[in-house]
Amino acid sequence: MQILLVDDERELTTPLSRVLTQEGYQVDVANNGVVGEELATNNNYHLLILDWLMPEKSGLELCRSLRSRGNQTPVLFLTAKDTVDDRVAGLDVGADDYIVKPFELREFLARVRALMRRSACELPVSSRLQVSDLEFDPDNQLAYRNGRTIELSEKEGKLLKYFMQFPQQLLTHQQIYQHLWGEESTASSNVLAALVRLLRRKIEVPGEITLIHTVYGKGYRFGERSDPQEGTN
C-alpha cells in the first residue's frame, strides 16, 4: 500500500513517515505542493496525505488540480484550520477526510486505515486479478493456476483478493485482521495463520513458485519473490 505525504514541516513528515512505514505502508514524502503534484501525477498511490498550507502550491490547490484531471485517490488533509467554512472548502475541492493539528497518532492511523479500506473497496470487483501464474475470479470464488481450477471459501477468496490487490506490499497482521473481520474483531493470530495455511495448500502445490511469504513478526507479502531475511513460509 503506497502513501504520498506532502507537508513542508519536516519535523512532522519525518516521524509520520517512520510510523506509517512501521505500519507496513510504503511512503513517499514531498515538502511542497509542486513536487507533491508531480509525484501524485506520475505514481499510483492508495492515499494522499496533504498539508493545507504549503509553499508554492497549497494542499487545497493540489487537491483541486488532481480532481480536475480525474485523479480520485483518497485525500486526507492535515490542517490547523477548523472552522465550518474551512471544512466545507476542503470537501468542495474533493477531500475525503481531514484531521486538525495537533492530533493524536491513534486517531491519525485510524483515519488512514479507514481511507485505505475505502480505496481497496473501490477497486472493480468484477475484474479478474492476476499475479505471476495465478489468476483469481472474485465473482465466482475461483482461482486458476497451471491448468488447475481452485475452489475457495468466502474467507479464502477475500484474503486472496486482498493479497493480489497489493502484490509485493507488506500487509501487517493488523491490516489483514481489520480487512477480514473488521475493526472490532476478536480473531486471534492463530485464526489468521490457519486461514493462510489453508490458502497456501490450495494455491501452492509442490513444484510451483511460492507466492505467500511470511514476514516474521509483521505480516505477509504476496508475489514471486521475498526478501530472504524476512522469511518465506
Do 137 and 218 lie in one domain? The reply is yes
- State which residues form the domain around 199: 129-222
> Which residue, of 121, 147, 169, is where some domain finishes?
121
State how many domains the chain has: 2
**Predicted pLDDT of residue 10:** 86
Q: What is the pLDDT of residues 149-186, one digit of tens each?
A: 999 999 999 999 999 988 888 999 888 988 888 765 55
Burial class (CB in 10 A: 0-12, 13-18, 19+), 37: buried
CA dist list (Å): 5 to 28, 40, 137, 154, 223: 6, 10, 33, 35, 26
β-strand pairing of 2-6 with 26-30: parallel
Q: What is the mean pLDDT of residues 125-139?
A: 81
Predicted confidence band of residue 133 (pLDDT cuts 50, 70, 90): very high
**CATH number of the domain residue 193 falls in:** 1.10.10.10
Do 74 and 23 lie in one domain? The reply is yes
Please give the Cα distance from 224 to 215 (Å, whole number): 14
Please give the Cα distance from 120 to 176 (Å, whole number): 12
Q: What is the pLDDT of residues 2-12, one digit of tens each?
A: 899 999 888 88
Do 116 and 11 lie in one domain? The reply is yes
> Which residue, of 121, 145, 166, is where some domain finishes?
121
Lowest-pLDDT range, 16-30, 37-51, 106-120?
A: 106-120
**CA-based angle 152:147:197, to the nearest 5?**
35
pTM here?
Answer: 0.54
**Predicted pLDDT of residue 126:** 44
Judge whether 230 lies within some domain: no
Burial class (CB in 10 A: 0-12, 13-18, 19+), 43: exposed
Do 65 and 161 lie in one domain? The reply is no
What lies within 8 Å, CB to CB, of 164 at 6+ separation is: 129, 130, 131, 134, 136, 222
Residue 25 has pLDDT above 50, yes or no: yes
**CATH number of the domain residue 23 falls in:** 3.40.50.2300
Per-residue cell: 84: 465550518
Do 89 and 53 lie in one domain? The reply is yes
Residue 53 has pLDDT above 90, yes or no: no
Q: Which position has the higher pLDDT, 120 or 94?
A: 94
Residue 34 has pLDDT above 70, yes or no: yes
Do 56 and 98 lie in one domain? The reply is yes
What do you get for the CA distance between the two ends of the chain, in Å? 21
β-strand pairing of 219-222 with 170-172: antiparallel
